[in-house]
Amino acid sequence: MEDTDLTPKRAAVLVASESVADAELVGKLLQDEFHNVRLSTKPDFAVEDFEAHRPSVLVLAFDTLEAAQRYYIGLYRLSTVVHETRHRVVVLCNKHDVWTVYDLCSKGHFDDYVLFWPATNDAPRIRMSVHQALRIMTVKAEAGDVAPRAAPAGVSAPPAPRPARVEAQTDTVVLGATLADAQAAKSAAQARQSTSGQAEAASQPLAVLIVEDDEFQQKLIGRLMNGLGIEILFAGTGAEAIERMWERKPDLVLMDVGLPDTNGVEATRKIKSIAQFGHVPILMVTGHSERNIVVESLKAGAADFLVKPFDKNTLHEKLRQFMPALAAS
């Protein structure tokens, strides 16, 4: 086995994610200190990216812990070299998954985790985690321990060599499988996703998050939605709004312009910067309609406005406009 350079300037680091923006964010945080960082953002080429880069440190920057697990188990099931590649795995998680990922790390499924989503309050922590991974690998190598890491639970023997990748004219083949396998897998996945989405939509009511620090206004807007069968969520600050969205992703947000910890424009900008919430429409609620507020809100990603005072009919019209499922009911 070749000696692997584990110095920060040469050690291979691979950042894997389904989001180009997330991968680029993590990559930028690392590139100042680690000069051999690569990004892997196309699921179709996950195995090829790993095998081409042979990372000493693999950073999993996925939206959910489940996605990170699927990716990593998929590598072991499909790659012919991951079993023999010495590497350590750092997974980025949100606060709701901390204990779960801690348990996975303690069992050896991953090596370390960083509480990273939705806010990078301790951005240097990810750099330190990579430094620590390289130090541990260096100490082990000096002690003569150059064995590759064990496969995740549920994965045993290395896979047989994959057939040559068949290039499709319009769709990339999934993880090096043959074209027929890829098309079959794609169709099955779409069917499962459609069924799962329909089941989830049927089991959960539509949800609207009201971001308003005035309790009277919260109750007033909530009463105006009575009879629509909507689950109503409340947040009194911008920070609380993001927390509530992680707990239960709403179908629409009513955002007050004035909040105690920030303003509604900045809160909207932060929400829209999170990939999982980018498609959720945000309606700004304001007592005035100055041009600068309108312009800045639209730039931040707001979909529309509600100017106080508004009545029940106006609110219902806006809700139906931005929640098609409500309009169809």
93-150 pLDDT, tens digit each: 988 899 999 999 988 899 999 998 766 567 789 999 999 999 999 999 888 887 878 7
Whether residue 232 is found in the same domain as residue 322: yes
- Tell me the percentage of the chain whose pLDDT exceeds 70: 81
Whether residue 140 is found in the same domain as residue 254: no
User: Would you mind telling me the total number of residues written for the chain in this entry?
Assistant: 329
Whether residue 227 is found in the same domain as residue 310: yes
Q: Which domain holds residue 66?
A: 13-162
Q: Does some domain include residue 179?
A: no
Total of domains in the chain: 2
Give the count of beta carbons closer than 10 Å to the beta carbon of residue 260. Answer: 10
Contacts (Cβ under 8 Å, ≥6 apart) of 275: 19, 21, 22, 63
Whether residue 214 is found in the same domain as residue 310: yes
Whether residue 130 is found in the same domain as residue 263: no
Q: Which of 162, 187, 217 is the last residue of a domain?
A: 162
Whether residue 237 is found in the same domain as residue 304: yes
> Which CATH number fits the domain that encloses residue 215?
3.40.50.2300
Q: Does some domain include residue 297?
A: yes
Contact status, residue 264 vs residue 284, Cβ threshold 8 Å = yes
Residue 175, pLDDT above cutoff 70 = no
Alpha helices in the chain (DSSP H): 20-31, 46-53, 65-78, 98-106, 124-142, 179-203, 215-224, 238-247, 264-272, 291-300, 312-322, 324-328
Q: Does some domain include residue 54?
A: yes
- What is the pTM (predicted TM-score) of this model? 0.51
Q: Does some domain include residue 124?
A: yes
Whether residue 17 is found in the same domain as residue 152: yes
pLDDT reported for residue 86: 92
Q: Does some domain include residue 172?
A: no
How far apart (Å, rounded) are the C-alpha atoms in residues 78 and 302?
42
Whether residue 25 is found in the same domain as residue 90: yes
Angle at 265 between CA 259 and CA 271, to 5 degrees: 95
Q: Does some domain include residue 59?
A: yes
Q: Which of 254, 288, 290, 286 is nearest to 271 (CA)?
A: 254
Residue 174, pLDDT above cutoff 90 = no
Whether residue 157 is found in the same domain as residue 207: no
φ, ψ at 162 (rounded to 5°): -80, 150
Whether residue 226 is found in the same domain as residue 108: no
Whether residue 84 is found in the same domain as residue 144: yes
Give pLDDT tens digits for 197-206. Answer: 454 444 578 9
Mean pLDDT in residue range 244-268 = 91
Q: Which of 132, 162, 192 is the last residue of a domain?
A: 162
Q: Does some domain include residue 6?
A: no
Q: Indicate the pLDDT class of residue 186, thresholds 50, 70 and 90.
A: very low
Give the chain's mean pLDDT.
82
Give the count of beta carbons closer than 10 Å to the beta carbon of residue 37. Answer: 24
Dihedral sign for Cα atoms in the order 44, 46, 47, 53 = positive
Residue 50 Cα to chain centre, angstroms: 20
Give pLDDT tens digits for 47-68. Answer: 999 999 999 999 999 988 999 9
Whether residue 21 is found in the same domain as residue 148: yes
Residue 253 Cα to chain centre, angstroms: 20
Q: Which of 279, 168, 129 is nearest to 176 (CA)?
A: 168
pLDDT reported for residue 158: 57
Burial of 29 (0-12, 13-18, 19+ CB in 10 A): buried
Q: Which of 143, 162, 181 is the last residue of a domain?
A: 162
Q: Does some domain include residue 176?
A: no
Angle at 33 between CA 137 and CA 121, to 5 degrees: 95
